[in-house]
């Protein structure tokens, strides 16, 4: 019986020691899980902020494209209207022999100047669109 009692005591001691070790390990695991949970919540917050920023960037890009397209369309309409309206007095002056030569010279200057102005508007609009759509330096 003594051997059984000694064996039971040894098993009991190992059980207590093992239970203590398991308890320590469970505590460490619990702390690690809490840290992982906190890290996970931070990552979720960072991801949500990244998604919000990406959405804002898409909205800005869409607004830039819409605005640029509107400027291009408006400029095209104005340039076409200008050309049609300006041609009326030039055609009248071209029909008069005494003003024909001067009218053609003035018309050439007028048309060249108008074309340069509208090309400049298109160019500035494109430059703004390209600058606003260009990713910030270092994000390539």
Per-residue pLDDT of the chain (140 residues; tens, 9 = 90+): 677 787 777 777 777 777 777 778 888 988 899 999 999 999 999 999 999 999 998 998 899 999 999 999 999 999 999 999 999 999 999 999 999 999 999 999 999 999 999 999 999 999 999 998 887 666 65
Distance CA 140, CA 120 (A): 30
Domain residue spans of the chain: 2-133
Distance CA 77, CA 84 (A): 11
Distance CA 23, CA 92 (A): 103
- Is-contact 86 62, C-beta < 8 A? no
What's CA 115's distance to the chain center, in Å?
34
């Amino acid at each position: 019986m003594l051997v059984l009692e000694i064996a039971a005591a040894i098993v009991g001691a190992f059980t207590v020691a093992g239970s203590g070790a398991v308890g320590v390990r469970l505590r460490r695991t619990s702390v690690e899980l809490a840290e992982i949970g906190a890290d996970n919540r931070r990552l979720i917050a960072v991801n949500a902020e990244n998604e919000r920023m990406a959405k804002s960037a898409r909205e800005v890009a869409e607004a830039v494209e819409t605005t640029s397209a509107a400027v291009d369309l408006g400029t095209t309409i104005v340039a076409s209207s200008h050309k049609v309206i300006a041609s009326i007095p030039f055609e009248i002056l071209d029909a008069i022999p005494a003003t024909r030569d001067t009218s053609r010279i003035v018309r050439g200057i007028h048309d060249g100047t108008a074309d340069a102005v509208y090309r400049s508007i298109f160019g500035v609009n494109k430059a703004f669109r390209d600058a606003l759509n260009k990713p910030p330096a270092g994000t390539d």
